[in-house]
Amino acid sequence: MIIVRDDGSFNDTLLDIEIARLESLVSDLERLRDGGVPAAEEIAAAPIIDQWEVAMRSEAALIGLIQGHPRGLSMLRPSVTSGLWIIDPVRGYARTLSRIYALGLRRGEHAGSIQ
């Protein structure tokens, strides 16, 4: 997750690492879509994971009452976003894996309050 500081700065190196990681993932997804798989040499050179199983892990996300979601998520109950990649409270937005969200009031904050 990239955190934008109040002055608008962020860690350039971490952002470059995330961009490279995502570009690599997109490349592999496009290869799969186009009917390709990793070459035998690529798999042979990869780290081996033994005794494996699929597991779930938590990641940073936003939870709140969402309005205007393209999939019509209910605003009457708390919803959870996809993984949080960027949050910039000063400029009022967050970027999840799926989309940009405009940040409204923080939990516990009321219209007109200053925090």
Q: State both tokens at 25.
A: 């993932």
User: Which domain does 32 fall in, by range?
Assistant: 2-102
94 CB neighbour count, 10 Å cutoff: 21
Q: State both tokens at 39.
A: 């070459």
**Burial of 108: CB neighbours in 10 Å, binned 0-12, 13-18, 19+:** exposed
Q: Is residue 92 part of a domain?
A: yes
Q: Is residue 108 part of a domain?
A: no
Q: Tell whether the model's pLDDT for residue 28 goes beyond 70.
A: yes
Q: Is residue 113 part of a domain?
A: no
For CA atoms 48, 53, 58, 64, give the dihedral sign: positive
Average pLDDT on 14-31 reads: 93
**pTM higher than 0.85:** no
32 CB neighbour count, 10 Å cutoff: 11
Q: Is residue 19 part of a domain?
A: yes
Average pLDDT on 59-68 reads: 87
- Structurally, how many domains does the chain consist of? 1
Q: Tell whether the model's pLDDT for residue 68 goes beyond 80.
A: no
Task: Tell me the per-residue pLDDT of 101-110, one tens digit each, with 9 for 90 and over.
Answer: 999 988 888 8
Q: Tell whether the model's pLDDT for residue 75 goes beyond 80.
A: no
